[in-house]
Amino acid sequence: MTVAEAINRACDEAEKFDEACRIARQQAEAINELCAWTDELKAYRETGLTPEEVTALQASNQELKKEALPILQAKVQDRLVILPCGLGETVYANFAIRGDYLREKDKPYPCEVVFIGLSKEPFLHIQFKNGRVFPVKFCEVGKTVFTTREAAEAALKEQEG
């Protein structure tokens, strides 16, 4: 074998190795991609959701974002007020209007929220069973007026004890 033939043969062998390395790199990339897909599939399966449920959840999420955006903007602009209760709801008062005949043993008194006012100091009007209406500031909810009978009774016990 001549030197030229040996060089040509070595070059041919090198090309074969280069081709084998190129193929091996492609296969390694394909295997890595397959591993990534397998990890994604595993994470998906762990949710226990079907593809249809995932699609429905995504649509629901978009709807919630549409609803939440104006609320978040109002909060940022300090225009958001969280009401302590709703109109028509029953609240429980641990006080009576002076001069009204309300028996002490009947505390807490169930009242209906008949008006909600927004001003520098937001307030609501509560109506006692005898028809009297009394204004209550939001800051008093949880102190003298309560959204549940249990909370009102607990506050009464605390005052007594």
Whether 141 is in a domain gets the answer yes
**Average pLDDT of the chain?**
88
pLDDT, residue 68, reads: 94
Whether 121 is in a domain gets the answer yes
The number of angstroms, rounded, from the C-alpha of 130 to the middle of its chain's C-alpha atoms is 41
User: How confident is residue 58, by pLDDT bands cut at 50, 70 and 90?
Assistant: very high
Number of domains in the chain: 2
Whether 7 is in a domain gets the answer yes
pLDDT, residue 122, reads: 94
Average pLDDT over residues 24-38: 92
Last residue of a domain, one of 12, 44, 76: 76
pLDDT at 1 over 90: no
Looking at the fold, whether 33 and 67 belong to one and the same domain comes out as yes
Looking at the fold, whether 71 and 95 belong to one and the same domain comes out as no
Task: Residue 122: give the domain boundaries.
Answer: 90-160
pLDDT, residue 114, reads: 98
CATH number of the domain residue 137 falls in: 2.30.30
Whether 83 is in a domain gets the answer no
pLDDT, residue 104, reads: 64
Percent of the chain with pLDDT over 70: 93
Looking at the fold, whether 64 and 113 belong to one and the same domain comes out as no
pLDDT tens per residue, range 68-119: 999 999 999 988 989 999 999 999 998 765 555 656 666 788 999 999 999 8
Task: Please state whether beta strands 90-93 and 109-117 pair in parallel, antiparallel, or not at all (unpaired).
Answer: antiparallel
Looking at the fold, whether 70 and 8 belong to one and the same domain comes out as yes
Average pLDDT over residues 33-52: 90
pLDDT, residue 97, reads: 59
pLDDT, residue 147, reads: 96
Last residue of a domain, one of 25, 54, 76: 76
* Alpha-carbon torsion angle 57, 58, 60, 63, nearest 10: 170
